Amino acid sequence: MDSTWAHILSICEQLSTTTYENLTKIIRFSKAQSADQARNFDDSFQNDLDFWMGGGTCFSMTWHLYQQLQKLNLSPRLLMGHKRKEQNIHCALLLPFENKTYLFDPGYLIFDPLEIPEPAPIGTGISFFPLIPNTVQLQNNGSILSLFTGSFQSPLKLRFEFILSGVDVLEFQKHWTESFHREMMTYPVLNRLDKKNGIQYYYQKGNLVTRKKEGSFIQKIEKENQISTLSHLFQLAPEIVEEALKIIEKR
């Protein structure tokens, strides 16, 4: 058990250095002209991982982790995440292990396995994780797992709801393909966790949010500084940032 769990934690630690970004996804889609083909492009060279497909968003991160856990002869379950007004907008993994069940949500920059609480009447149905810079709370009603995040300075907010029965690979890939046509593919979205220093960088629509334990601040990134700033903060090659921004501008 100990060696397998150590291997799981090692996989998560390696994944924690990866940037969530839709730039390679935008580039793949532009070149392939087909969401199915774009989904199957291998991005290993960019992410410095053995196996990676279709751009660096939650689907790629989750799929990579799913494959790695299967290689350990484990039985991860794919989960789709829902918001109140948007279905199948996010994804994560559930893993039964040693009489416990864990949530893995690398696409939301949660790189620690989170033990899912037992629902009432067996347990409280609620678990709290004081991660830095974002705290996490899980609520399990037996069929739906609710993910809340916040900080030490702000209240918890409901982010996603996961139906615990999960989906099969075909349904997961269907939603992955559909994600290439979502509105978020029309502008850059980048998210990276500096786990060592407890800092999160989030960029969307020209605004950079830097989140620390002490709080968050927002700054506007001027157009002439986008390539240099984004490539540096999010550890992406400047040519990838430049190519994706050009594709977006032409739309």
By percentage, how much of the chain surpasses pLDDT 70?
Answer: 94
> Is the omega angle on the peptide bond into residue 133 within 30 degrees of 0, that is, cis?
yes
For residue 251, pLDDT beyond 90: no
- If one counts the domains in the chain, the total is 1
Domain with 40 in it: what CATH number? 3.30.2140.20
Q: How far apart are CA 146 and CA 105, in angstroms?
A: 12
The alpha carbon of 36 is separated from its chain's Cα centroid by a whole number of angstroms, namely: 20
Query: What is the tens place of the pLDDT at every residue in 105-127?
Result: 999 999 999 999 999 999 999 99
Degrees to nearest 5, angle at CA 140 with 135 and 146: 50
Domain span holding position 205: 2-250
What pLDDT is attached to residue 69? 95
The alpha carbon of 124 is separated from its chain's Cα centroid by a whole number of angstroms, namely: 27
Number of Cβ within 10 Å of residue 134's Cβ equals 22
The alpha carbon of 64 is separated from its chain's Cα centroid by a whole number of angstroms, namely: 11
Query: What is the tens place of the pLDDT at every residue in 170-223?
Result: 999 999 999 999 999 999 999 999 999 999 999 999 999 999 988 899 999 999
Q: How far apart are CA 181 and CA 247, in angstroms?
A: 15
- Tell me the pTM: 0.91
